[in-house]
Structures are given as structure tokens and as C-alpha cells.
Amino acid sequence: MIVRFRFRPDTFIIILLTIVLLASLIPARGGFVAYLGYLTDFAVALLFFLHGARLSRDAVVAGLRHWRLHLVIIAVTFVVFPLIGLALAPLSPSLLTPTLYSGILFLCVLPSTVQSSIAFTSMARGNVPAAICAASASNILGMVLTPVLVGVLLHTQGGGVSGNAVIAILLQLLAPFVAGQLLQPLIGGFVRRHNRVLGLTDRSSILLVVYGAFSKAVVAGLWQTFDLTTLLVMALVDIVLLGGVILVTTYGSRLLGFSKEDEITIVFCGSKKSMVSGIPMANVIFPAQAVGAIVLPLMLYHQIQLMVCAAMAQRYAARRPPDAGTPAEGGNAAKKEAATSV
């Protein structure tokens, strides 16, 4: 059976690239930079507060029982990815600048996405309840593991994370998330009922961070540093990284004896990287003038993963229908449980 796949560029990526172009042509300067910083900090804190408020505890409990699957996804996200990133070290500085390679390492230690992981798992008729739990757990763990792993990996590259950055992560990201979880019994239903409107907060906060980050990077000479060849090489590295992880998750899940539905969940949750979490974290962890270059690999990877996983989901969905009663039946309900928008 031939599966037709027509490329449709992600609308948010188009908007994001427009913001990058705006920041390149009209970067923030002078006193406006301070006001933009305050607005961005508030938007990011609100973003993670809503993450906590949206996360359904029932969905987490329903998926927690499949502990083997969750351990595999966490291992891929926070162990296999970083190891592949370290294996790419010979590319720097011959093919990638040290800053872009740091961006690759940062990409490798980010948590998985939530909404797209669940949506693709549902489209491919995978284990949706487990995908909800695994993607949510990845994001929660990522708020602690990502800055720690950044410190460990970049220390080997001559960089690192200061104690102030860790404190900033706790105060700006983790504290609002915990507050949202504590208030989830009271406001969780309201937040989920207005998920489409409140989803604008996710996108708006990312756009603010990207505009501020690229403004600072452009003023510091970002586009005088990177040429088109470098950007194409970086995109190729992202493709190799994604392809390597998809091979590991696909054949690894089969060797471990997982069902086809669980394999789908492992592939889609294990191969994704979250731009929603990644860009705000980069804004907190790295120096302002470096953030624009640091998030470039992530922005490219995000679009590539959407294109590749959309094609894979259609191929999985084209297989013979599973028996009645499989975990894939929860697809429509699962989409309502998605905690993030990207």
C-alpha cells in the first residue's frame, strides 16, 4: 500500500521564522530591552504555571503502570541522546562552531514534547495513555535533569552552568509549575476547557523569548558569524541525530519485546525534543548573547521532527487494524490531555 505524504510546513514555525527575521531587521535596543526582559520572564513563568495546571493526575496514574516503557523513553531522552551528541564532537570546530555544537548538546538533553508526541501516537494507533504519562514525566524530569546535564556536558567542552542559573531554573520554571500542580484540583478543569485560548500563552512566550534572544544575538553579530553552508550542515546534523534515535527506539523496542503499540509510543515520545521547554530554559541557562545561536539547532530539529514523524505516523496507521480493546482506542480523549502546544 502506497502512503501519500504531502509536506505542510508547520504554521508556528513560519511565525517563528518571521520573528527571527523581524529581530534580524529591527532588533530590540536601548531601554526597550529591559522592558522586554521583564515581560518575557512573566510570560515564561505563566507558561510553566499553566503546564502544571493542565497536567491531569488521572492521566499520569493511568500510564504509570507501564514502568518498563517509561524507563526506556527516559533512558533514550536523557542518556542515548546525550551520548549521540557527544559522538558528534569531531564536527566542532571544523564543521560547526563551538556555540552551535553547544546548541546540539543542549538539544540532546531537553525533554520530550507532550502534545505532538501524543498526537502522533494517537494517529499511528499506539499506546496513548502511556504516551501521556511518558511525555509528561519527561517534561517534569527535564526541569531538573536538563540544567544538570547541560552543566556536565558543557563542562567537558569548557563551559558549564552556574549556581545562579540553577536557582533561576528553580524560581522561574519549577516553582510556577509546582504552584500550578498544587492548584490543579481547583483550576485544572477551567484551564483544560479553555486550552485553545490559553495555548496562545505557550506560543506567545516562545515568540517573546525568541525575539529577545535573537535581538541580542544580532546586535552581537550573529549573522556575521554564520553563513548558509554552516546552517545547512547544522540541519544535516539534526537529520542524522533524529535518524539515529529513531533507529535505536524502533529496533530497541522490538528487541526488548514490546508490542507494536508500545513501539509506536517509544519511537514518538523518545525521538521528540520540546521547543516549549527548550527555548525558555536556554534563556535562563545561557548568556544572553549566546541564546540565539544555541536555539538554532533546536528550531531546525523541531521542524524536521514534525515532518519525519508525520510520515512515520501515516505508515504506522496504514498497518492492519489491531484487535479491539488495544490501548490505541483512547486517541481522541488523549488529545484533550495534551499539556503543551508544541
DSSP 169-238: HIIIIIHHHHHHHHTHHHHHHHHHHTHHHHHHHHHHHHHHHHHHHHHHHHHTTHHHH--HHHHHHHHHHH
Q: Which residues contact 333 (CB under 8 A, 6 or more apart)?
A: 128
Which tens digit of pLDDT belongs to each residue from 122-172? 778 888 777 877 877 787 788 788 888 888 887 655 444 445 555 666 676
Q: 338, 328, 332: which is closest to 263 by C-alpha?
A: 328
Q: What are the grid coordinates assigned to 106, written together? A: 543542549
Short-list 103, 132, 105, CA closest to 116: 132
What does the pLDDT look like over 205-240, one tens digit per residue? 767 877 877 787 777 666 766 677 877 888 899 999
Please state, as a whole number, how many other Cβ atoms lie within 10 Å of the Cβ of residue 319. Answer: 12
How far apart CA 126 and CA 311 sit, in angstroms, is 15
0.85 exceeded by pTM:
no
Whether residue 176 is preceded by a cis peptide bond, meaning omega within 30 degrees of 0, is no
Give the model's pLDDT for residue 20: 80
Q: Please give the helix or strand (H or E) that residue 300 lies within, else none.
A: helix 296-317
Helices 67-75 & 128-156 angle (0-180, nearest 10): 30
- Residue 333 pLDDT grade (very low, low, confident, very high; cuts 50, 70, 90): very low
Contacts of 66 (CB under 8 A, 6+ apart): 127, 130, 133, 262
Positive or negative torsion for Cα 337, 308, 302, 148: positive
- What digits encode the pLDDT tens for the residues 254-312? 999 998 989 999 999 999 898 777 887 888 788 777 787 888 888 888 878 877 887 88
pLDDT at 2 over 80: no
> How high is the mean pLDDT of the chain?
77
* Residues shown for the chain: 342
- The Cα–Cα gap between 233 and 90 comes to 13
Looking at residue 214, its amino acid is: F
| Dihedral angle computed from the Cα positions of residues 200, 206, 209 and 213, in that order, rounded to the nearest 10 degrees | -140
- Coil, helix or strand at residue 111: coil
